[in-house]
Structure formats: C-alpha cells, structure tokens
C-alpha cells in the first residue's frame, strides 16, 4: 500500500504528521529488514540509508569520484537535454534508484522524457521523479521535509511556477515524487545538482532507475555498459570515470 506515493502524502497531511518515514523497500522485500529492526528494538531512522547492495565490480571505489571538471561537464550535458547514467558505489535496496544506479536528464525538456520513455518501454502515463538538493527543498515545495522525501516514497505539492519551469517534474495534479538529496549520503548526485545551479535555479534533475521497464535495475559494470551501448544514453559515470559516446 505504501508504494502509492500520493496516498502517503494524503495520509501524512490528514493526520497532521510532523514527519513521515516510508521504508524504501516497502514491499515484501523489506520484511527481512523490518524483522531485524524489530528484533533489535531500533526505531531511529535518522542515520540510515538504502545503499546496501553490491558495488559495480569494476575494482574502483564508490563515492563522488569525479573531478570538478567532469562534474561540470555532466551538468552541462543534462542541461542541454542529454541523458547521463550513474553507476557508483553500493546499489540501492528496494525499487527506487537514488543516485547510485540512476539515469539523469533535465526536467525542462518533455521531448527528452518522451524519447527515453519509448526507449525504456516505459508507459507514457508513468511520471518521472525530480531530485533536488536538501538546501533547495524549500524552493520547490512548502511541504515538510519528511524523512520519506529522501527515498522517493511520498509526493509533495509543487510551489506555484515550478510546473511551468520544470514540466517533466510535476504531475498533472500538481504533485511531485521529489527526492531530497543530502551530500553526506549521495555525494555524486549532490555535486551534479550543485553544478546545475550554474545553468538554472533551483537546480533540479529527473532521476529514474537505470533499467528498461520491468527489467532489474543495473547491478554491475557489465550490464551498465551493455545498456549504455544499446539505449539513447549519452554518457555513463562508472564510479570515478566518465564515458561518453562518440557523436
């Protein structure tokens, strides 16, 4: 039930919650973690994250990795309507890609969204989710910074003007499945968003999972390169290396 992000927003607002936490693996796959937490009687979620899976397997460490010049280049590509894949660090646990196994593109260009949806066999009715730096969160929504916004498990209402400026980011009902990105948790994605501030403010990027619709999310380097070659993806960040397709 709690995979319904719009429902999560409605419930939180109607109950007057001061915070909302929805575990990122909210289906049956998360039961093992719930059982472990219950056994440990550990209810604090403030310091946890969902990067519990394997590394890409290319022998290089995860983390922000890229130098400033490469990060600026990635930001420029996104702003220009190109698609960039991120495969870095440990894979996310659950159905949401949060910056370690992600595809990024600009929320200002519906044509890019349409092209990518067709390539990924993604139904056109499926909305995309934007990512925003934690420090810019209040610029795009007046809703509380619930813990669930870290994991794309709740929608929030966009402020006036956001839909017009970033049409891909906002659903037809004015809501967004917004990811609030903190640098201490997702440094590379945060750095890319910071570089995007040179092109627009507040800096937003669409963040969707790196996979074809109904297929598993990319796990390691081999699958990442296979999809990079076969899909209309312009660049691949694999840990500390930026790969670009030749024109």
Q: What is the pTM of this model?
A: 0.82
Contact (Cβ atoms closer than 8 angstroms) between residue 95 and residue 5: no
pLDDT band at 61 (very low <50, low <70, confident <90, very high): very low
**The tokens 């604090």 sit on which residue?**
44
Provide the percentage of residues in the chain whose pLDDT is more than 70.
92
Can you read off the two tokens belonging to residue 242?
């930026």
Q: Tell me, what's the pLDDT at 38?
A: 67
- Note the pLDDT of residue 28: 85
Q: What CATH number does the domain containing 39 carry?
A: 3.90.870.20
* Domain that residue 56 falls in: 5-244
Tens digit of each residue's pLDDT (9 = 90 or more) over 2-43: 899 999 999 999 988 899 989 888 888 888 887 777 666 655
Lowest mean pLDDT among 51-55, 63-67, 173-177, 209-213: 63-67
At residue 57 the predicted structure's pLDDT band, cuts being 50, 70 and 90, is confident
Residue 150 has pLDDT above 90, yes or no: yes
What pLDDT, on the 0 to 100 scale, is given for residue 46? 47
Average pLDDT taken over every residue of the chain: 90
H or E segment and range at residue 93: none
Provide the pLDDT for residue 14: 93
| Tokens, residue 202 | 């507040």
Q: In Å, what is the CA distance from 165 to each residue of 74, 78, 106, 138?
A: 21, 15, 11, 16
Rounded to an integer, the average pLDDT of 221-246 is 93
Number of domains in the chain: 1
pLDDT number for residue 73: 97
């Amino acid at each position: 039930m709690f995979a319904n992000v719009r429902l999560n927003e409605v419930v939180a607002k109607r109950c007057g919650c001061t915070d909302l936490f929805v575990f990122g693996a909210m289906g049956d796959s998360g039961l093992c973690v719930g059982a472990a937490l219950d056994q440990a009687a550990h209810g604090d979620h403030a310091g946890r994250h969902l990067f519990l899976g394997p590394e890409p397997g290319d022998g290089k460490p995860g983390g922000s990795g890229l130098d400033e010049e490469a990060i600026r280049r990635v930001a420029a590509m996104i702003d220009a309507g190109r698609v960039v894949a991120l495969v870095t660090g440990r894979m996310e646990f659950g159905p949401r890609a949060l910056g370690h196994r992600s595809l990024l593109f600009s929320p200002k260009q519906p044509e890019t969204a349409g092209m990518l949806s067709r390539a990924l066999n993604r139904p056109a009715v499926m909305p995309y989710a934007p990512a925003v730096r934690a420090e810019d969160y209040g610029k795009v929504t007046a809703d509380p910074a619930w813990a669930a916004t870290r994991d794309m498990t709740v929608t929030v209402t966009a402020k006036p003007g956001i839909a017009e400026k970033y049409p891909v980011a906002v659903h037809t009902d004015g809501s967004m499945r917004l990811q609030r990105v903190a640098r201490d948790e997702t440094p590379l994605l945060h750095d890319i968003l910071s570089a995007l501030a040179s092109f627009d403010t507040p800096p937003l990027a669409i963040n969707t999972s790196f996979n074809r619709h109904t297929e598993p999310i990319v796990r390691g380097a081999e699958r990442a390169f296979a999809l990079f070659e076969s899909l209309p993806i312009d660049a691949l960040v694999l840990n500390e290396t930026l790969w670009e397709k030749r024109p």
